[in-house]
Amino acid sequence: MKNRLLLVLLCIIFISGVLPAAQIKDIASVVGVRENQLIGYGLVVGLEGTGDGSSSQFTRQAISSMLQSAHVKVDPRNIKAKNVAAVMVTAKLPAFSRHGDKINVEVASIGDAKSIIGGTLLLTPLRGVDGEIYALAQGAIAKGYSADKRNKRKATAAKIFKGAIVEREVDFDLYHKESIRLSLKKADFETAVKIQNKINKTWGATVAMAIDPRTIELRRPAGKSMVEFLASVDHLSIPYQGAGKIVIDERTGTVVAGVDIKVDPVVITHGDLTLKIMPDSDVETHGYAIDKNSNVLSMRYGEVTVANIARALQKLGSKPEDIIDILETIKEAGAVNAELEVI
């Protein structure tokens, strides 16, 4: 019986001491393999009187130029653009995109249009920083892809899912490379050395060398292509304690966070609301207490996560923008160990 208890105790100690593992592909990327930004100027037509109107001269000029390309000559001064809006179209061209692939685009008004929802984006060339056309965008702007879902009728920014077709590829010759570099998403000496040792131990040779806290240089082993080598490296795992991630969409008020992202003790005042996270907070087991007289939200440290805070503030009737401001302030105060991404 004693031996059995001792074995169970040792197992518990062993399990509690094991660090979480992460695959190399989740914490590092290949230098030079990245997405590229694209931009273009276009017109959204078919709006029900919510377009730019007659005050936006560049919109009328763009309509005139577009009609001239169709062999229709119209004086820009005679054009009324209340059903048309001038927009900037942006997109991200993923690495290794191929001719004919479809990518998402974002459309935003640059005139005085009240809304572009329900319109149709006309054919718009999307260019890179080199001035070359890499994709062509066109399509209907449906209400379901409104960037401001809280006020669809007056949205001046929207997304078109798979709204552009890739016309030009970005060349990156990976196959013939003899060496390549991995870049850690977060600089850390220990992690860089762990990756170096793991790769060298797996291949039984010195093919990896950490040259700084963020960069590991890899040399292709004999008899393997660089693609085969990177495929095996990507799936190697090392002990790694990574920070959580909080994603905030400012336009829609959406907050996405892991359920286990803890928040340290902190006191924050936002407007007429005070949030207190303290070890000795006298709250019930459901996680929070509200003093309506002083408008103080108290939460007990050790039980508080980002998800708890967002849920409690939502029940209090806080607006999405207020919840976002509070979470950003908590991050700035250093009370949460998580990566914050605002989209």
Strands of the 179-184 sheet, one edge to the other: 28-30, 179-184, 215-219, 208-212
Angle at 247 between CA 244 and CA 252, to 5 degrees: 160
Cα 168 from Cα 183, distance rounded (Å): 27
Cα 75 from Cα 63, distance rounded (Å): 10
pLDDT, position 139: 93
Give me the percent of the chain exceeding a pLDDT of 70.
78
DSSP code string of 70-129? TT----GGG---TT-EEEEEEEEE-TT--TT-EEEEEEEE-SS-S--TT-EEEEEEEE-T
Distances in whole angstroms, Cα of residue 282 to Cα of each of 52, 285, 287, 290, 311: 56, 10, 10, 11, 19
Both tokens assigned to 273: 């609301």
DSSP code string of 123-165? EEEEE-TTS-EEEEEEEE--GGGBS-TTSGGG--EEEEEEEEE
- Give me the mean pLDDT over the 2-16 stretch: 39
Query: Could you read off the pLDDT of 11-26 as tens digits, one per residue?
Result: 433 333 445 678 888 8
DSSP code string of 40-55? EEEEEE--SS-S-TTS
Q: How confident is the model at residue 292 (pLDDT cuts 50, 70, 90)?
A: low
Residue type at position 265: P
| Helices and strands in the chain, H and E counts | 7, 19
Query: Could you read off the pLDDT of 44-98 as tens digits, one per residue?
Result: 988 888 878 766 777 777 777 777 777 677 776 666 778 888 899 999 999 889 9
Cα 260 from Cα 241, distance rounded (Å): 13
Q: What sign does the CA torsion over 129, 135, 138, 139 have?
A: negative
> Residue by residue, what is the 3-state secondary structure of 193-215?
HHHHHHHHHHHCCCCEEEEECCE
Residue of 315 and 141 predicted with greater confidence? 141
Q: Which residue in this structure is represented by tokens 């207490």?
A: 289
Q: How confident is the model at residue 243 (pLDDT cuts 50, 70, 90)?
A: low
**pTM for the predicted model, two decimal places:** 0.65
* Per-residue b or e along 226-252, where b marks 16 or more CB atoms closer than 10 Å to that residue's CB: beebbeebeeeebebeeebebebbebe
* Res. 145: pLDDT tops 50: no
Both tokens assigned to 159: 């997304």
Q: What sign does the CA torsion over 263, 241, 214, 169 have?
A: negative
Provide the β-strand partners of residue 239. Answer: 21
Cα 41 from Cα 105, distance rounded (Å): 12
Residue of 247 and 37 predicted with greater confidence? 37
pLDDT, position 154: 55
Give me the percent of the chain exceeding a pLDDT of 90.
25
Residue type at position 288: Y
Do residues 51 and 81 touch, judged by C-beta distance below 8 A? Answer: yes
Cα 140 from Cα 153, distance rounded (Å): 16
Query: Could you read off the pLDDT of 178-224 as tens digits, one per residue?
Result: 999 999 988 889 999 999 999 999 988 889 999 999 999 999 888 88
Burial of 62 (0-12, 13-18, 19+ CB in 10 A): buried
Domains of the chain, by residue range, sit at 36-166, 176-242, 244-342
